[in-house]
A = this chain, B = another copy of it.
Amino acid sequence: MRLADLAERIGADLEGDGDIEIDGVAPIDGAEPGMVTFLANAKYRPALATTRASAVIVDRDETVAGTAALRCTNPYQAFVAALYEFDRRPRPAAGIHRTAVIDASADIGEGAYVGACAVIGAGVRIGRDARIYPNVTIYDGVVIGDRFTAHAGAVVREEVRLGDDVVLQPGAVVGADGFGFVPVGGGDPLPIPQIGSARLDDKVEIGANSTVDRAAVGETVVGSGAKLNNLVMVAHDCQVGEGSLLAAQTGIAGSTRLGKRVMTGGQVGIQGHIELGDDSSVAAGSGVVASVREGDTVAGYPAVGIGAWRRNMVLVRRLPELLRRLRKLERRVLEGPSAGRRDD
């Protein structure tokens, strides 16, 4: 693609030779001639002088020498737009593979790709332009919107409902039985039938090998636009609010409700039966054991406000010093002034 064309497509102002042929995108320190890169983080500014890229996406004030510049107000967003232009990964053409197994009562919209050995159960309804990769399993009674993407090995259990533009990465599981057992005196715990279901609203993405369990009763819900990274666990009867972003290996215990746009770092654990308000955040590795108010950021285990947590962590590291100071005082006070002088 000509650089001038790229500039136009991503809404940037061109500075330099518009006839340069661009054939790829790369980070600033890995770019080759013929590629476009970007600078959005001051940390990488020194690399601007040495990058081999043919063009760089920068903001309006950046000083650029020796390479063409594409100027715009949000270089990172423009770079993402460029990534869309250069996304040439192979995509399967529409068509149902001869080895796919689709129940006669299933209803699949126009334009679908259904890969080899994908299995679609009775009464399933899927909208248009689905892409269902090999070895995916959709159980009976599932209802799915348009432009559904399910990567290989993903599983959607019975009667789950998915909105439009839902993406399941490989191995994602939606609607497995929640973990519910009633202790029965003396004997094995009795399983609680998980007769509820699970629902993912529009534009939800579930990461590789993540699991969203069905509800015991009612519905586990992941709201519109929420994104879950890999190996995330959302337990039965949870609600994850729209636009929430859950980083990898986050786990949410049963019946907890996350508001809108909640963000969790990696490996966050959240206790059952609590609420996290809209726009709240949890730092990576934290364990949340009590409800969090709207807009708050918490950290630590058990999680507290991130400011308090930081202060406490600093003090934990200062404990050896605190102990020394305490000992010194003790010598002065309990053993008398002469003792105190020993290490002054």
Contacts and interface: CB of A to CB of B under 8 A. Distances in A.
A149 to B, nearest CB: 10
Interface in A142-180: 151-153, 155, 157-159, 167, 169-171, 173, 176-177, 179
A87 interface: yes
A176 B224 CA distance: 22
Contacts of A308: 317
B287 A269 contact: no
A326 B323 contact: no
Contact of A155 (B80, B153, B330): B153
Contacts of A326: 322, 325-326, 329
Contacts of A306: none
Interface residues of A, number: 118
Contact of A253 (B169, B224, B247, B311): B247
Contact of A284 (B137, B139, B173, B271): B271
A158 B195 contact: no
Nearest to A84: B193
Residue with the greatest number of chain B CB neighbours at <10 A, chosen from A192, A231, A245, A330: A231
Nearest to A225: B188
A1 interface: no
A122 interface: yes
Interface in A217-250: 217-218, 224-225, 227, 229-231, 233, 235, 237, 242-243, 245, 247-249
A176 B181 contact: no
A84 B210 CA distance: 28
A320 B312 contact: yes
15 contacts: A77-B182, A80-B182, A83-B192, A83-B217, A87-B193, A90-B122, A92-B140, A97-B101, A101-B117, A151-B176, A179-B207, A229-B235, A231-B251, A251-B267, A315-B316
Given A86-B195, A155-B170, A271-B284, 13 more contacts: A25-B195, A25-B217, A77-B182, A87-B193, A117-B119, A119-B135, A119-B152, A170-B176, A188-B203, A189-B227, A209-B210, A230-B233, A231-B251
